[in-house]
Structure 1
Amino acid sequence: MNSFADKTVIITGAGKGIGRACAELMAQRGAHVVAMARTPSDLETLASGIGARTITVDLADNAAARAAMTEAGTADYLINCAGTNVLESVLDMTEDGYETVMGINLRAALICAQEFARARVKAGGGGAIVNVTSIAGHRGFQDHMVYAASKAGLEGATRVMAKELGPHGIRVNAVAPTVTMTELAAAAWSDPAKKDPMMVRHPMGRFAEVEDVARSIAMLLSDDAPVVTGAVLPIDGGFLAV
């Protein structure tokens, strides 16, 4: 099991779902967790439960995102997990929906990565970033146009980050999960009419759990992946293989 003793990790979107699972796992493995989220009550339970240092922030606000990263300080790792979605078709896409999804899923992730990297370079380099994307960036899902664009864009940015930050010893990777069983997803995918056609495309016969994604992220951050950078790791039970 990888140890992150005496290391500091910043996690965006840490209040719920994959981000929360990452916060709990990294704390279990010895890391000092700086948790960012919009909902104070979520952060309060992380502070009391795992001793996380917490920052309440709406990352859709560019200035607030930069200020939050400054408050977080220099860290060893960054997990860009904050995300949202507005279900709109190609014909029904709205400007508000576009700005909401792109602002959180892509622009905020780039701002946080930039501020993290600047601090790391100033500290002498090293460290690692993992960006959380989605299989929606690889396959076309109904009503997911802007979401897909945001996640595909983040994967492209991940490769540029890996190229430009590699000389500073900073590794940058992404993970692309399939349907992941957060509380909201479990409710959304409980209908067999929706679940079964999707499940048949998963050779392993199940969707991902938040802990599955968190463990894969921890692996990419760890010293067990010393020359892995610029990669996009599907966490999808084989979905993209078939």
Structure 2
Amino acid sequence: MQLNFRGLPALVTGAGKGIGRDTVKALHALGAKVVAVSRTDADLVSLSEECPGIQTVCVDLGDWDATERALGNVGPVDLLVNNAAVVPLQPFLEVTKEVFDRTFSVNLRSLVQVSQIVARGMIHRGVPGSIVHVSSMVAHVTFPNLSVYSSTKGAISVFTRAMAAELGPYKIRVNSVNPTVVLTAMGQKVLTDPEIARKLKERHPLRKFAETEDVVNSILFLLSDRSASTSGSGILVDAGYLAS
């Protein structure tokens, strides 16, 4: 499947590492004009060296006011990937206010805020667009110590459908990708116990976790006009986990 994003303005949050970083690199290689957003400046510096010409924005998306200042006038965006997230590991009975507030602020509230900024711009310019949220299969199934993280991803599923319904008349599509564990630095946090990792992998019919490339390819499909009639959907990149 040949994709071409030449000249299209795109914005990716959580762009410093993992899925977000590889999404920026893929979009840049396919000709998009990318704005990469991360809270870690060193990651943005190294990403700029790999992808000359991208625009970078360093901001903590968990801070509403700082995000508004940083992205309120970001310019035209036709393609948005909401990837920024934190993954706290806490048993339900030990969940703290600080962890709850931080997780929802970064994983969900920033998704809403950035999507509002971008969608309003699309509507003002009268252009179609595509928004992709990076969710997780734990929107549909629970894992130990991930109650707060899973709750944010479950809420993203609802927002995906609600946004698709409300933004559809403006020709703005909204979808999500829902991967299993991806072997990034963030994903490895969930797999600190080798025995748990082994048992979890064996529960996947394909006997594997997802590679970053698998998720990026699904994101690119949903951003592209190859998915022109797809909105309000979530693509499972879960190696068959939810089928078992």
CA-CA distance at 1:192 after TM superposition: 3.2
Q: Give the counterpart of 1:84 among 71, 75, 86.
A: 86
Corresponding residue of 1:196: 198
Question: Does the alignment pair 1:179 with 2:185?
Answer: no
Q: Name the CA distance, whole Å, in 2 between partners of 1:23 and 1:208.
A: 18
Kindly provide the CA deviation profile for residues 31-67 of structure 1, in whole angstroms up to 9, marking residues without a partner as x: 1110000111100111121121100000001012222
Question: Does the alignment pair 1:19 with 2:20?
Answer: yes
Q: Give the counterpart of 1:129 among 109, 128, 131.
A: 131
Task: Name the aligned partner's letter for residue 42 of structure 1.
Answer: D
Conservation of the 8 A alpha-carbon contact between 1:69 and 1:116? no
Conservation of the 8 A alpha-carbon contact between 2:79 and 2:131? yes
- Assess, with a 3 A threshold, how the Cα gap between structure 1 residues 188 and 141 changes in structure 2: closer, same or farther: closer
Q: Which runs of 5+ in 1 are unaligned?
A: none
SS state at 1:21 partner: helix
CA-CA distance at 1:210 after TM superposition: 1.1
TM-score (norm. length: structure 1) = 0.96
- Assess, with a 3 A threshold, how the Cα gap between structure 1 residues 190 and 91 changes in structure 2: closer, same or farther: closer
SS state at 1:84 partner: coil
Structure 1 segment 22-171 matched on structure 2, within 5 A: 22-51=23-52, 52-171=54-173
- Assess, with a 3 A threshold, how the Cα gap between structure 1 residues 107 and 194 changes in structure 2: closer, same or farther: same
Task: Name the aligned partner's letter for residue 47 of structure 1.
Answer: S
Corresponding residue of 2:10: 9
Kindly provide the CA deviation profile for residues 96-138 of structure 1, in whole angstroms up to 9, marking residues without a partner as x: 0100100000000000001110000000031100001111111
Q: Name the CA distance, whole Å, in 2 between partners of 1:190 and 1:97.
A: 20
Conservation of the 8 A alpha-carbon contact between 2:202 and 2:208? no
TM-score (norm. length: structure 2) = 0.96
Q: Name the CA distance, whole Å, in 2 between partners of 1:201 and 1:9.
A: 36
Task: Name the aligned partner's letter for residue 234 of structure 2.
Answer: V
SS state at 2:226 partner: coil
Q: Which runs of 5+ in 2 are unaligned?
A: none
Residue identity over aligned pairs, in percent, reads 38
Q: Name the CA distance, whole Å, in 1 between partners of 2:177 and 2:62.
A: 22
Count residues in correspondence.
242
Task: Name the aligned partner's letter for residue 201 of structure 1.
Answer: R
CA-CA distance at 1:209 after TM superposition: 1.1
Corresponding residue of 2:241: 239
Q: Name the CA distance, whole Å, in 2 between partners of 1:18 and 1:81.
A: 8
